[in-house]
Amino acid sequence: MIYEVRTYTLRTGAVAEFEDRFAKRKPLREKHSKLGAFWHTDFGPLNQVIHAWPYEDLQHRTAVRDAMAKDTALQQLPGGRDLIVEQQSDIMIPAPFIRHREFLRDADLHVRTGRPSGGAGGVGQGRSRP
């Protein structure tokens, strides 16, 4: 299992628009592979969105990216390229003691509560999600 973690630095004030566009494209995008996590910054470097996509391996990632490029329905919806100032894409390999289901559960908890699981505060606490 690998994770592609994409960090987009957006134009000032563009996070909400990017998230709206992403939400509209998400069902079509997830026909190819499921989203692992999605965040936006609240402290630190502002105007950033970070999303993680789990893949079995690099070949799986390549196959998904190729299929998305050929998906005409997905291409019909506006993405966010015009909002992106800078993009970084990292391939991450989980430590042997992390299981995929735990990662997704903990990532979801962090997004919904603004707190990492097992903690009572921390980064993101100022903007909780329902």
Please tell me what DSSP assigns to residue 32.
T
The pLDDT value recorded for residue 114 is: 45
Is residue 14's pLDDT more than 90? yes
Instruction: CATH number for 2-113: choose from 3.40.50.11540, 1.10.3720.10, 3.30.70.100, 3.30.70.990.
Output: 3.30.70.100
The pLDDT value recorded for residue 93 is: 92
The confidence band for 127, taking pLDDT boundaries of 50, 70 and 90, is very low
Q: Which helix (H) or strand (E) holds 92?
A: strand 84-92
Sort residue 88 into left (φ over 0), alpha (ψ -120 to 50) or beta.
Answer: beta
The residue extents of the domains of the chain are 2-113
Neighbouring C-beta atoms of residue 89, cutoff 10 Å: 10
Task: Convert the pLDDT of each residue in 34-80 to its tens digit.
Answer: 999 999 999 999 999 999 999 999 999 999 999 999 999 999 999 99
* Rg, the chain, Cα only: 15
- Six-digit token pair at 122? 């921390």
Q: Which helix (H) or strand (E) holds 113?
A: helix 100-113
Task: Convert the pLDDT of each residue in 75-107 to its tens digit.
Answer: 999 999 999 999 999 999 988 887 766 656 555
